[in-house]
Structure formats: C-alpha cells, structure tokens
Structure 1
Amino acid sequence: MSEKQPIISSQPGGYQQGPVVMVQPEFGSVQGKIIIPMTGNRDWSSGICDCMQDATNCVMVAFCAPCVQCQIATRMGENVCVPFCVPGAMIALRQRLRTLGGIQGTLCGDCLVFAVCGQCALCQMKREMDIMGIV
C-alpha cells in the first residue's frame, strides 16, 4: 500500500483507528521533494560600505556593536542572547534577512562579509531592516 494513501477499514466511519494520515497535494514538487527557489531577486538596498547613509546607525555600531547585535536578533524574532550563545548567529540572521527580503547572495558571501568587516555587515543589516519595516 502506498504511504500517501489513507488507511481505510470496515469500521464505523470508514477509517481504521490509529494515527490520522493527512495527504497534501504535491504542489511545486518533484517526486515528493519540495522545490524552493534559493536565490533572491534583488540586491541589498545599500552597499556594504555605505555606512554613512545612516550616521546614527554607524556611530551605534562603532561604539556598541553588541547592542546592535541584540537589537537585530530581537527584531528578527530571536532571543536577545542568541548573538552571544549561538556560534555563527549573526551569519544565520543575515541569511534569514536575505531570505525574507528576497535578496541575492550566498552563505559563503555572508561568511566573508562578516570575516572582512563585521561592523559594516551589521550596519547594512540594520539599514535593510529599517527599509523593510522589520520592527
């Protein structure tokens, strides 16, 4: 019996007792695998070196980057401690922001941006969140 078909028996109600099996239509799938586009369709609203577009943001990152990391985490719906308790959390949050905003990029690119200039990456993320309206 195929695992995608519900189990039917002669008991009242027509179904066998036990776990309920729900079968969803295979929309956008190939042989049971869901296809999700992984590339965005736009660039960041501002460049990685455009920190001075928002001077307040730039000063805040320069003098209290941990505060900005906590702010970004909470605005993305995560716990305030995530940037300090989860290795690579800011890279994961950057990728999540890219996915939500439909921004082009790769995990490797996100890692390189944080390795070369993490403060610039924080500024860019905060600016993008402001533009996207993530509060």
Structure 2
Amino acid sequence: MDQEFVPIGPVDTTTVVVAGYVQQQPGGGGYVQQPITQPPVADTHIHVSTDSRMGVWSSGLCGCLTSPIGCLCACCCPVCYSCFISDKLGESICLPCCVPGYLTTLRSVMRTRHNIPGSVMGDCCITCWCQCCAVTQMSRHHDFAANRLVSTNATVITGS
C-alpha cells in the first residue's frame, strides 16, 4: 500500500488536500486525485527530548549544598517550594495542594522530558523518603536545562 507521490499537472496548478487525497486543479478545471502516501501529522504539544541518548540528572540527589537557599526553603516549607517548582515546570501552582502524589508525578514528567532513565516506582520511593532532596534536585536540573537551552540558542550579532 506504500505509494509514491508524483507531482501532476502544470506548474500553475492549485494543490488542495482533502480527506487524505491531493487534489490539483489544472488551469482547465476539474480535479485530479492522487492518494497521499502518509497521513498528515497533527501538531502535538508533547515535550519529549528528541535526543535519542539517555539523559542524566544535572546533579546528584544529595547535591543540596550546590543550592543551599533552595535546600533551606525545601526543608522549611516543602509545600510552598513544591508550588514554586510546579510553576517552574509549567504545571499548575495548585498541583501540590490538590493532587495526591504530585511530587512523584512532577519527577516522572521531568524524567520523560529530559530522557532520564528511571521508573515511576523509583520516583515514588525517592519522593517519599527524600522529598527535600528530590525537590531541590528537580529545581537544579530545571535551571541547568534552561541555561543550557539559552546558551545553545544564543546568536551573536556583530555590527559593521
């Protein structure tokens, strides 16, 4: 069923895609139909890394000393800091207050976005037993990834 698309008609044709078929209307009128070999791909908003390599966390689980203020905030008021992290990740700021197991969910989403190996069970254990460390690790990784993205997309403009 694999068909090859071959353009038909003169250069001044109008091309329209209707119900999976390419319809070209030559200058003389009438439509010529030819099936499309692959269906059009819908625009999705899934933020999954296109890099096929496995990612890693930018810092270890116990790397709290690299961000002592974040660690202090996470230890003193974990729910408030979790709201802050949820907002940084583009999720609802109310997520920690409304969703049971929110931290496991956030960690799994972050792992998926950055192609970091692991499991939901591992995320659950880490977030249950080391909540402060897990939240600060996620914050550090988000900041690292955001800074890396900015430096990758930076362009240099020189004047003459």
For normalisation by structure 2, the TM-score amounts to: 0.58
* Partner Cα separation in structure 2 for residue 65 and residue 53 of structure 1: 18
Q: How do residues 63-78 of structure 1 correspond to structure 2 at under 5 angstroms?
A: 63-78=76-91
Aligned pair in 2 of structure 1 residues 7, 47: CA closer, same or farther (>3 Å)?
A: closer
* Partner Cα separation in structure 2 for residue 40 and residue 88 of structure 1: 29
Whether the 8 Å contact between 2:57 and 2:141 is mirrored in structure 1 is yes
Note the residue ranges of structure 2 that are not aligned, 5 or more in a row: 1-18, 22-29, 33-37, 42-49, 148-160
Whether the 8 Å contact between 1:40 and 1:99 is mirrored in structure 2 is no
Aligned pair in 2 of structure 1 residues 107, 40: CA closer, same or farther (>3 Å)?
A: farther
Structure 1 position 117 matched with structure 2 position 120: no
Which stretches of structure 1, 4 residues or longer, exceed 3 Å deviation after superposition?
22-25
Name 2:71's counterpart in structure 1. 58
* Partner Cα separation in structure 1 for residue 99 and residue 85 of structure 2: 14
Aligned pair in 2 of structure 1 residues 13, 92: CA closer, same or farther (>3 Å)?
A: farther
For normalisation by structure 1, the TM-score amounts to: 0.68
* Partner Cα separation in structure 1 for residue 140 and residue 73 of structure 2: 12
Quote the offset at 1:13 in angstroms. Answer: 7.7
Identical aligned residues as a percent: 33
Alignment root-mean-square deviation, CA: 2.7
Structure 1 position 89 matched with structure 2 position 89: no
Name 1:105's counterpart in structure 2. 118
Whether the 8 Å contact between 1:91 and 1:111 is mirrored in structure 2 is yes
Q: Which structure: larger Rg?
A: 2
Q: Which has the higher contact order (CA 8 A, sep 6+)?
A: 1
Quote the offset at 1:53 in angstroms. Answer: 1.2
- Tell me the amino acid that sits aligned with residue 108 of structure 1: M
Q: How many residues align?
A: 108
More strand as a share of residues: 2
